[in-house]
A = this chain, B = another copy of it.
């Protein structure tokens, strides 16, 4: 009876969510750079790429028609229309990574996180956030949105922050402390693997 009290390894489904400007993209990019052995889900969207974004790396940039087909055929784990643009996560990609024993890290907006919570209640939901002041500063610095869009995103952010209760963890991405936020996310993943009753996701 040598190791039977060691819990079996189960791959986790880690959801990084939070308001626009919280730094979800930067955080996930940094996690990739640091070489963590997670599977990072590539989201599909029909919005145009921002400067520097690469197809198949940052997003799958697909035409709206293709998006609607995947949605119709149930090929998306979650999908939402955000500011009139489609976003969604291909199901098969997540199943395959977990079947290969890999933790899956997924970046979705708060609306998407709510869907995941419903479909996969055992997912680990992390709310990445920052102060309203920092959110605003980041959206302005990004320079991709007109002022009305920024105002819309900030008002949305306030609503999203009110939904924090459905999340398991909250990580504050303070200005200039991205690595600290990454470190906390990694600690959460490590801790979740130590749970006596692991969160086994079935999709």
Contact = CB atoms under 8 A, between A and B. Distances in A.
B196 A187 contact: no
A170 B131 contact: no
Contacts of A38: none
A169 B171 CA distance: 21
A114 interface: no
A156 to B, nearest CB: 14
A193 to B, nearest CB: 8
Contact of A168 (B171, B183, B188, B195): B195
Interface stretch (A3-11, A71-79, A91-99): A3-11
The residue in A1, A5, A167 that gathers the most chain B C-beta atoms within 10 A of its C-beta is A5
Interface in A64-120: none
A165 interface: yes
Contacts of A5: 127, 129, 161, 164, 170
A122 interface: no
A165 B197 CA distance: 8
Contacts of A132: 1-2
A165 to B, nearest CB: 7
Interface string A166-200: 01111110000000000110111011101111000
A50 interface: no
Nearest to A166: B196
B195 A184 contact: no
A1 B135 CA distance: 12
A1 B132 CA distance: 7
Contact of A2 (B131, B158, B169): B131
27 contacts: A1-B158, A2-B132, A2-B133, A3-B131, A3-B172, A5-B127, A5-B164, A5-B170, A6-B129, A6-B172, A7-B170, A127-B196, A164-B196, A165-B197, A169-B194, A169-B196, A170-B194, A183-B190, A184-B190, A184-B191, A186-B187, A187-B187, A187-B191, A188-B190, A188-B194, A190-B191, A191-B191
